[in-house]
Chains A and B, each alone.
Chain A
Amino acid sequence: MGEVELSCLAYVKMYLHGCLFPRCSVNGLLLSSSPAGGAVCVTDCVPLLHSHLPLAPITQLGLTQVDVWCAQTQQRIVGYYQANACVSDNSPTPCALKIADKIAEQCNNAVLLMIDGGKMSPDYRVPPIVMYERKDTRWTLKDKHTIMLRQWEETREIANQLLDSGDHSLLVDFDSHLDDITRDWTNQKLNAKIAELASPANAFTAALPPGGGTVSIVKFTWISLTARGRQQTVKSMSINHMLLELHRMKRQWLRDPASTNIEIQCLTDMTLR
């Protein structure tokens, strides 16, 4: 069927939701701010529950509230994601199928996304997601080539960084909102943080000479001492990744100058046009 693109924001929030509640099944909704028709572009997600997923009242409440919010912000619900508590089993549960069916009634190209817990390690080469689409009345695996995740490495690094700095506890899902009604389930603060990390303009700007030129691909190792004296070594190759790492180093350095040693080595020169 159609192509699906998953944005950095949606992926990072889903990932953090799974990491925040590692012992529970979690689920949530996928939203899109682009108009209907053509490729589905998932631009945001709303984490819903982390307990009693198959029970109806709170799920219905969540769907209704998200629907209303979407209408106000020109978004639409285009999918559903779930991560099972049992790491070895990532097949959709009956309640996942039910909710996805409901969403598909409103949106033709709805997607069902299962997060594969076993593949959620920090340096995994492909996104740990399994996507399903609706063919006739059954949900079948989507062809991997129709799923796009731009700049996977950068997205993964952003997720890892938020996890390391403990910012994943800023994520508010609908369940947490019901426990403390003052918390914001639209996660505006976290969205802003992710946007800040995703835009390399915030970090050191590398000016490319107009019309192409030579830029060094930098390999650097950054050794930082965390609170327990553990050392982290980061090697980066792409420009975006490097800018992200510089931004991260700057934050760490601002936090605690004594703990950060930076060593930069220039490797090769490569011409970019």
Chain B
Amino acid sequence: CYIFQKGCGRKDCHHILNSSPSFDNWNVLIIVFTEMRDKLRKWREDNHRNSEQIVDVGEELINEHASKLGDDIWIIYEQVMIAALDCSRDDLAWTCLQELKRQFPGSQRVKRLAGMRLEALEKYEDASKQYDSILQDDPTNTAARKRKISILKAQGKSAEAIRELNEYLEQFVGDQEAWHELSELYINEHDYGKAAFCLEELMMTNPHNHLYCEQYAEVKYTQGGLENLELSRKYFAQALKLNNRNMRALFGLYMVSSHI
């Protein structure tokens, strides 16, 4: 609202009008509100997992400034709910879920959020059923399939998670996030050959990403053997070429060179 006067007719302005602070307070209130909303948007776009901060900012935004948000509020509810689950704030997650359920009854996206809440409460059977019901209605729903794989990972069933993820990737070959997750699972199982394969897929589709080059080089280094070390050196060098401030690539290059 750019009109700092009582009696301004704009419908998203009544919060400020109902209190009667001085002109400066109004200014600050609006600035604070837009800052918070923009911060949340930035974190959403960058996919940051700073859940404690999101909960802090988002909770205040929802409680104090809900009316000023307009249609943004639904996506903010989703973002804050996921962050609240990450911080064990089931109370906040429940309120967000209720609001979303009321606004979008029968939505697959909201069903997935309900499933995530069950996962957070460690009710894996119920969560699995929830995702199965989504997949019955829509067998191509990637989000539900990925959540089912996450349940396997959370339960420590890494072999099954790897198998399911491989099946998923046969269908959805272009899913970068899934390839990266698979490479992490393989690394934790010490299956470096297959992890290298996953990273190769990622490097093919993202040739300018220095992080993938550097991770590939690390995996090759860990595998050992002259051929792998030479490949490792090549890829550390490539990662440095793409980003000459990558310290891991720099140290890695030094270490692998002293081994060869």
Distance, CA A172 to CA B154, complexed state (A): 27
CB pair B247–A178 under 8 Å, yes or no, is yes
Distance, CA A56 to CA B222, complexed state (A): 5
CB distance from B160 to the nearest CB of A (A): 14
A53-76 interface code vs B (CB 8 A; 1 in, 0 out): 011111011000000000000000
Contact partners of B217 in chain A: CB under 8 A: 57
Q: Does B77 contact A (CB under 8 A)?
A: no
Distance, CA A60 to CA B224, complexed state (A): 13
Q: A52-B215, A54-B222 are in contact. Are A86 and B248 (CB under 8 A)?
A: no
Distance, CA A95 to CA B187, complexed state (A): 11
Which residues of B (130-169) have their CB < 8 Å from a CB of A?
Answer: 154, 156
Contact pick for A94, options B190, B247, B251, CB 8 Å: B190
Q: Does A181 contact B (CB under 8 A)?
A: yes
Q: Does A196 contact B (CB under 8 A)?
A: no
A21-60 interface code vs B (CB 8 A; 1 in, 0 out): 0010000000000000000000000000000101111101
Contact partners of B247 in chain A: CB under 8 A: 178-179, 181
CB distance from B257 to the nearest CB of A (A): 12
Contact pick for B255, options A61, A94, A95, A181, CB 8 Å: A61
CB distance from A68 to the nearest CB of B (A): 14
Contact partners of B154 in chain A: CB under 8 A: 86
B168-186 interface code vs A (CB 8 A; 1 in, 0 out): 0000000000000000100
Contact partners of B256 in chain A: CB under 8 A: 57
CB pair B221–A56 under 8 Å, yes or no, is yes
Distance, CA A52 to CA B185, complexed state (A): 10
Contact pick for B248, options A56, A88, A93, A178, CB 8 Å: A178
Instruction: Report the count of interface residues on A (CB-CB < 8 A).
Output: 18
Q: Does B243 contact A (CB under 8 A)?
A: no
Nearest A residue (CB) for B215: A52
Distance, CA A224 to CA B42, complexed state (A): 34
Q: Does B218 contact A (CB under 8 A)?
A: yes
Q: Does B61 contact A (CB under 8 A)?
A: no
CB distance from B59 to the nearest CB of A (A): 9
CB pair A54–B190 under 8 Å, yes or no, is yes
CB distance from A69 to the nearest CB of B (A): 16
Nearest A residue (CB) for B49: A23
Residues of B with Cβ closer than 8 Å to A?
A: 49, 154, 156, 184, 187-188, 190, 215, 217-219, 221-222, 247-248, 251-252, 255-256
Q: Known contacts A86-B154, A181-B247; can you find 14 more A-B pairs with CB under 8 A?
A: A52-B218, A55-B187, A55-B218, A56-B218, A57-B218, A57-B221, A57-B255, A58-B218, A58-B251, A61-B251, A61-B255, A86-B156, A93-B188, A178-B247
User: Can you identify 23 A-B contacts, CB atoms within 8 angstroms?
Assistant: A52-B184, A52-B187, A52-B218, A54-B187, A54-B188, A54-B190, A54-B222, A55-B187, A55-B221, A56-B221, A56-B222, A57-B222, A57-B248, A57-B251, A57-B255, A57-B256, A60-B255, A86-B154, A86-B156, A88-B156, A93-B188, A95-B190, A178-B251
